Amino acid sequence: MFATVLFWVVLWWLLALGALAIFNLILFRFVEALIPPAGRFMDVGGLRLHLVDTGQKPGHAEPPIVFIHGLLGQLNHFTYALASRFPERRVVLIDRPGSGYSQAAHSQSIKDQADMIARAIEQLGLKKPLVVGHSFGGTIALALALDHPDKVGGLALIAPLTQLMDTPPKPFEALYGRGSFSLWLGAWTLGPLVTLMRSKVTRDVVFAPDPMPPGYWTKAGGLLGARPPALVHAAGDIVAQPRELPDMAKRYGALDLPIGVLFGAGDGVLDPKVQGADFCLMACGAILTRNDGGHMPPMARPEETEAFIRKTLDRVAPQSAAGGLR
What pLDDT is recorded for position 70?
A: 96
For range 55-83, the mean pLDDT: 95
For all residues of the chain together, what is the average pLDDT?
Answer: 86
The share of the chain scoring above pLDDT 70, in percent, equals: 80
Measured torsion, CA atoms of residues 148, 43, 76, 210, in degrees rounded to the nearest 10: -30
What's the Cα-to-Cα distance from 192 to each of 28, 38, 325, rounded to whole Å? 9, 22, 48
CATH 3.40.50.1820 for domain 34-320, yes or no, is yes
Measured torsion, CA atoms of residues 295, 164, 190, 68, in degrees rounded to the nearest 10: 50
What pLDDT is recorded for position 292?
A: 96
Supply the pTM of this predicted model.
Answer: 0.88
pLDDT exceeds cutoff 60 at 239: yes
What pLDDT is recorded for position 200?
A: 76
What pLDDT is recorded for position 178?
A: 56
Confidence of residue 321 (pLDDT cuts 50, 70, 90): very low
**pLDDT tens string 244-267:** 999 999 999 999 999 999 999 999
pLDDT exceeds cutoff 60 at 179: no
What pLDDT is recorded for position 323?
A: 41
Of 35-49, 98-112, 312-326, give the lowest mean pLDDT range.
312-326
| Residue 288 and residue 280 in contact, taking contact as beta carbons nearer than 8 Å | yes
**pLDDT tens string 190-199:** 566 666 666 7
Q: How many Cα atoms are found within 13 Å in the side-chain-facing hemisphere of 161?
A: 25
pLDDT exceeds cutoff 80 at 4: no
pLDDT exceeds cutoff 70 at 127: yes
Confidence of residue 87 (pLDDT cuts 50, 70, 90): very high
pLDDT exceeds cutoff 90 at 314: yes
More confident residue, 68 or 177: 68
For range 223-241, the mean pLDDT: 84
**pLDDT tens string 269-309:** 999 999 999 999 999 889 999 999 999 999 999 999 999 99
pLDDT exceeds cutoff 60 at 103: yes
- Cβ count within 10 A of residue 98: 21
Contacts of 319 (CB under 8 A, 6+ apart): 128, 153, 154, 257, 258, 325, 326
What pLDDT is recorded for position 176?
A: 59
pLDDT exceeds cutoff 60 at 320: no
Read off φ and ψ for residue 153, nearest 5 degrees: -95, -25
Confidence of residue 325 (pLDDT cuts 50, 70, 90): very low
